[in-house]
Amino acid sequence: MLPVLWSFRRCPYAIRARLALLASGQQVALREVVLREKPAAFRADSPSATVPCLVLADRVIDESLDIMRWSLAQNDPDRWLDMPNAGWDWIARNDGPFKHALDRCKYATRYPDENPAQHLAHASEYLAELDAQIERWIFARPTLADFAILPFVRQFAFIDKAWFDSQPWPSLQAWLVRFLGSASFAAVMPKFPSWQEGQPPLIFPSAP
């Protein structure tokens, strides 16, 4: 029986989990969740009731980065896990301070006591440093760091795409454009039907 992946198409955490599954060729039965109507089966599987959630025969993996690492441990043909230790630092900064600032920029009305301009400045500082690091990739070739971070940069960029495009981040902007135009991004972003009890499994990634 295939592992089950509970997912939500637009969630950056779920996007990066699907990217790793695609890269590894590890197939799952994908179950697309409507977040405002979380099915009971999803709540039973996911300790945090958040996506992505990977259900294996012997355990549940409820963190997207852990899903990426599990997937690539099965098969890593592009050697994403073979990255400098600094890659983990970039991911930690993305998942911590940058995501904190991103949420308070994108969903400012949820945080009425916060200063969105201050959070925009914090996010911009991280992105400027990332721009200085990137040539074509964060390191000499694509690694886990690129695909763990890109979905969040995408989410930030589309808060105000015209503003994002006007910033002095040419390497970062080109990196994002390549990602958005890639076959990999297209493969993980079709409009998946929402899961219903009893429906045939949706296999992801599909066979080549």
pLDDT tens for each residue of the chain, 208 residues long? 999 999 999 999 999 999 999 999 999 999 999 988 899 999 999 989 999 999 999 999 999 999 999 999 999 999 999 999 999 999 999 999 999 999 999 999 999 999 999 999 999 999 999 999 999 999 999 999 999 999 999 999 999 999 999 999 999 999 999 999 999 999 999 999 999 999 999 999 986 6
| Residue 104, C-beta contacts closer than 8 angstroms, at least 6 positions apart | 111, 114, 116, 119
| DSSP code of residue 98 | I
Domain CATH number, residue 130: 1.20.1050.10
- Total tally of structural domains belonging to the chain: 2
Tell whether 190 and 178 lie within a shared domain.
Answer: no
Q: How far apart are the first and last CA of the chain?
A: 20
Q: Is the pTM of this model over 0.85?
A: yes
To the nearest 10 degrees (0 to 180), the angle between helices 144-157 and 12-24 is 150
| Residue 108, C-beta contacts closer than 8 angstroms, at least 6 positions apart | 114, 116
Q: Domain containing 153: what range?
A: 86-184
